[in-house]
Chain A
Amino acid sequence: MKIIYSLVKMSDEFHKIAKQEIQTELDSLRQILLQCNDDKGISNVGDQIEKHLHKIKGLAPMMGQNNVGEIAKLNDVILRYVIRNGETNGTYMVINESLQIMQEIFSDTNKNNIDEFKNKIRKTFPNIFNQ
């Protein structure tokens, strides 16, 4: 069955299209975040942000961008909490920083320690990630 994984994953055409689609999602996310100035702004557009995070979370790992997928997944957990509970302290900063780092990883310009960043996200929201 490993051949299935190879056949699909190694397609250059798939990588090209997936890369364009993820970049479009990152750009859309950036446009939405430009409308926000604070945590309240994030809670107002939570469902819009979540849709783009789902696309990134679902597609990025299939083209080998596991860290982008994991950061999107962590942000998705945060957004789900925000959608359910409303304005949440720290979301504006973390989601903006996550977008910047996802873009840097995706553009191959990242110099941050990704594991440290993922831990930082979890530590910023202990009530969400320790549930």
Chain B
Amino acid sequence: MIADDSDAIRMVLKDILDIGHHELVAEATNGIETVEKFTATKPDLLLLDMAMPKKDGLSALKEILAATPNAKIVMITASDNLSTMTECINSGAIAYLLKPFNFEDVLKTITKVIGIRQG
């Protein structure tokens, strides 16, 4: 599942998922929709943007993990602020991706995270 308010970013991520032969089960453009669609589809992986309207990515992350503790969530951010990244990981994100993307790193991260067995 992809959650980002930017159509262009979602388009890039969709292409990368496609190249990696991963199926896209849902998309969301704001934090509220993200939580709703995650709950409805329970995807293997959620790529979640930090800065989204209605509910920010960090709040959505915490809400999803409270209900589904083994959810695999990779945060997406354009902030290279170390404290932002640390907060994502400390809140339960499995990894984070920095924008602008290195497309190869994105695919490697997706493949690696999806390959991690659920505890």
A interface with B by C-beta (< 8 Å): 1, 4-5, 7-8, 11, 13-14, 17-18, 21, 51, 54-55, 57-63, 69, 76, 80
List residues of chain A with CB within 8 A of the CB of B7: 17, 21
Least Cβ distance of A18 to chain B in Å?
4
In whole angstroms, what is the CA distance A63 to B99 when docked?
Answer: 12
In the complex, B67 has a CB within 8 A of chain A: no
List residues of chain A with CB within 8 A of the CB of B8: 14, 17-18, 21, 59, 62-63
A interface, by DSSP: helix, strand, loop or mixed?
A: helix
Closest Cβ neighbor of A18 among chain B residues: B8
List residues of chain B with CB within 8 A of the CB of A55: 6, 51, 78
27 contacts between A and B (CB under 8 A): A1-B103, A1-B104, A1-B107, A4-B16, A4-B104, A5-B104, A8-B12, A8-B15, A8-B103, A13-B11, A14-B12, A54-B77, A54-B78, A54-B79, A54-B99, A55-B6, A55-B78, A57-B99, A58-B78, A58-B100, A59-B100, A61-B100, A62-B101, A63-B8, A69-B100, A76-B79, A80-B81
**Number of interchain pairs (Cβ within 8 Å):** 61
Whether A59 touches B15, Cβ cut-off 8 Å, given contacts A4-B104, A54-B78, is no
Whether A14 lies near B11 (C-beta < 8 A) is yes
In whole angstroms, what is the CA distance A61 to B8 when docked?
Answer: 12
Residue in A11, A57, A76 whose beta carbon sits within 8 Å of that of B15 in the complex: A11
Whether B19 lies near A4 (C-beta < 8 A) is yes
In whole angstroms, what is the CA distance A6 to B77 when docked?
Answer: 23
Residue in A7, A11, A17, A59 whose beta carbon sits within 8 Å of that of B99 in the complex: A59
Whether A62 touches B100, Cβ cut-off 8 Å, given contacts A21-B6, A55-B51, is yes
